[in-house]
Amino acid sequence: MAGITHQLLPVNVYSANEDQFCPTFDSPRRAVPHTMFRIHRESEGHAFVTFSLSGRIQSEQVAELRTLLQSEHRRVVLDLQEVTLVDRDAVQFLRLCESHRTQLRNCPAYVHEWIIKERFGGHG
């Protein structure tokens, strides 16, 4: 059995919380707030890969995740333990992932409830 490998994938990583500012400025005096999003990849042999997500998942991150998952040929697990906030695009994406046999591990209760509402045509 192959060993576990860990990899922090390159994604846009910004300030740790919304009260801090990234050192990017849109004018000489005003900093632009950003949100943090990280993906940690952990694979075990050829069977499956786990992507541990942390921070906020919004439309921009959904596009990154979609590309990442489409390139993966193993069974995928998304660990959402450290996810702090999602928007509707993220919930719809997670619902689609779940319907394609991607396991959602440690899914926050509010996200799980929202996925169920979306599954039946409701709105979060």
For the chain, give the secondary structure using H, E and C.
Answer: CCCEEEEECCCCCCCCCCCCCCCCECCCCCECCCCCEEEEEEEECCCEEEEEEEEEECHHHHHHHHHHHHCCCCEEEEEEEEEEEECHHHHHHHHHHHHCCCEEECCCHHHHHHHHHHHCCCCC
Determine, yes or no, domain membership for 110.
yes
Determine, yes or no, domain membership for 60.
yes
Higher pLDDT, 34 or 81: 81
Determine, yes or no, domain membership for 124.
no
Tally of domains within the chain: 1
Determine, yes or no, domain membership for 88.
yes
For residue 115, the domain's CATH number is 3.30.750.24
The tens digit of pLDDT for each residue in 55-78 reads 999 999 999 999 999 999 899 999
Q: Which of 26-40, 89-103, 110-124 has the highest mean pLDDT?
A: 89-103
Q: Is the pLDDT of residue 32 over 50?
A: no
Assign 46 a pLDDT band (cuts: 50, 70, 90). Answer: confident
The pLDDT value recorded for residue 122 is: 65
Determine, yes or no, domain membership for 30.
yes
Q: Is the pLDDT of residue 18 over 80?
A: no
Range of the domain at 110: 4-119
Determine, yes or no, domain membership for 67.
yes
